[in-house]
């Protein structure tokens, strides 16, 4: 079934957990994530980032996301991740997405406020939730090698976060406090006191991007400090690749579906473990 962003985040708040938000830009990741969510029995956010348009269009993967989530008994939100312009987010809504993140984090503050506000108004007309972003997180979800180290100078300022939420009306806030997108090249040092300050200042659920590659203890501490949505992609895509390599190394394997099956199994194991860690962090 499909539920709204606010409903999923309220579930997280009630149970003292973070909701897993998994990018599924290939079919194997999508079916694996749905199976993992059904196995664990908690709401999950399925998302498609604009940067993955080069892999599959939001209309094509969106049709599959909406159809598979609708027929499942498990609750899912269908969320546009890192929308960089309002037209892309509108395309997502047309394709059946019911939630969106506008990423204006690299824009000057006033422009980020104005453009995020426009997205909130577009979404409000349809009863959908919006996540905004303030503070810059380095790296992206495309596996680029020159990434992996957070920059404290770009962390989110709590007072700006308060103003941003009040002026935009976002229902969730993505913030920078030590994570990066993609692979980590240095052990992350998350700022837990900053998470507490941001949760207090923002007054809406706090979102962690760059969720791959943290230890279970780091997830638990972030959740304890109030993070309610954790975005996850890179390590799921990485285990799919590792599984594919193993299968293709076998000269007796002739047909591609063996790769797809191995990748699906690998992603399901990886994403199940991630969702379970988040779900088990409840008070």
Binding site for ligand 13P (CB under 6 A): 23, 49, 81-82, 141, 181-182, 209-212, 231-234
Smallest distance from ligand 13P to CB 137, Å? 8
Say if CB 173 and CB 133 are below 8 A apart: yes
- Cβ neighbours of residue 192 under 8 Å, at least 6 residues apart? 221, 222, 225
Smallest distance from ligand 13P to CB 4, Å? 19
Among candidate residues 60, 81, 200, 252, the one labeled active-site is 81
Smallest distance from ligand 13P to CB 212, Å? 3
Calpha distance 67→14 (Å, rounded):
28
Say if CB 43 and CB 75 are below 8 A apart: yes
Q: Is 60 designated active site?
A: no
Closer to ligand 13P by CB, 70 or 106: give it. Answer: 106
Smallest distance from ligand 13P to CB 68, Å? 20
Smallest distance from ligand 13P to CB 214, Å? 9
Least Cα distance to 134 among 100, 187, 99, 170 occurs for: 170
Least Cα distance to 236 among 218, 211, 215, 219 occurs for: 211
DSSP character at residue 156 = P
Torsion angle (degrees, nearest 10) of CA 143, 213, 282, 209: -40
Beta strands 172-175; 129-134: pairing state:
parallel
DSSP for 236-275 reads HHHHHHHHHHHHHT-TT--STHHHHHHHHHHHHHHHHHHH
Closer to ligand 13P by CB, 163 or 216: give it. Answer: 216
Q: Is 124 helix (H, G, I), strand (E, B) or coil?
A: helix
Closer to ligand 13P by CB, 181 or 225: give it. Answer: 181
Closer to ligand 13P by CB, 30 or 49: give it. Answer: 49
Say if CB 62 and CB 78 are below 8 A apart: yes
Closer to ligand 13P by CB, 187 or 252: give it. Answer: 187
The catalytic residues are 81
């Amino acid at each position: 079934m499909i539920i709204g962003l606010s409903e999923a985040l309220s579930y997280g708040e009630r149970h003292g957990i973070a909701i897993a938000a998994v990018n599924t830009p290939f079919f194997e990741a999508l079916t694996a994530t749905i199976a993992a969510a059904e196995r664990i029995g908690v709401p999950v956010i399925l998302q498609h980032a604009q940067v993955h348009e080069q892999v599959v269009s939001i209309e094509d993967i969106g049709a599959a996301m909406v159809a598979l989530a609708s027929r499942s008994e498990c609750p899912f939100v269908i969320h546009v991740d890192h929308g960089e312009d309002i037209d892309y987010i509108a395309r997502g809504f047309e394709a059946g997405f019911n939630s969106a993140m506008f990423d204006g984090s690299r824009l000057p503050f006033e422009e980020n406020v104005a453009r995020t506000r426009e997205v909130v108004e577009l979404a409000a007309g349809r009863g959908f939730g919006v996540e905004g972003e303030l503070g810059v997180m380095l790296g992206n979800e495309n596996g680029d090698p020159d990434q992996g180290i957070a920059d404290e100078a770009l962390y989110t300022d709590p007072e700006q976060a308060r103003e941003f939420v009040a002026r935009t009306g976002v229902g969730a806030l993505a913030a920078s406090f030590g994570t990066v997108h993609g692979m980590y090249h240095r052990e992350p040092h998350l700022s837990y006191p900053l998470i507490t300050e941001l949760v207090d200042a923002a007054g809406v659920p706090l979102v962690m991007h760059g969720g791959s590659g943290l230890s279970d203890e780091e997830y638990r501490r972030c959740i304890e400090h109030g993070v309610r949505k954790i975005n996850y992609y890179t390590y799921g895509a990485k285990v799919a690749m590792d599984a594919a390599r193993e299968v293709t190394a076998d000269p007796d394997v002739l047909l591609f579906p063996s790769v797809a099956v191995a990748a699906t199994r690998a992603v399901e194991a990886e994403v199940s473990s991630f969702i379970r860690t988040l779900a088990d962090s409840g008070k």
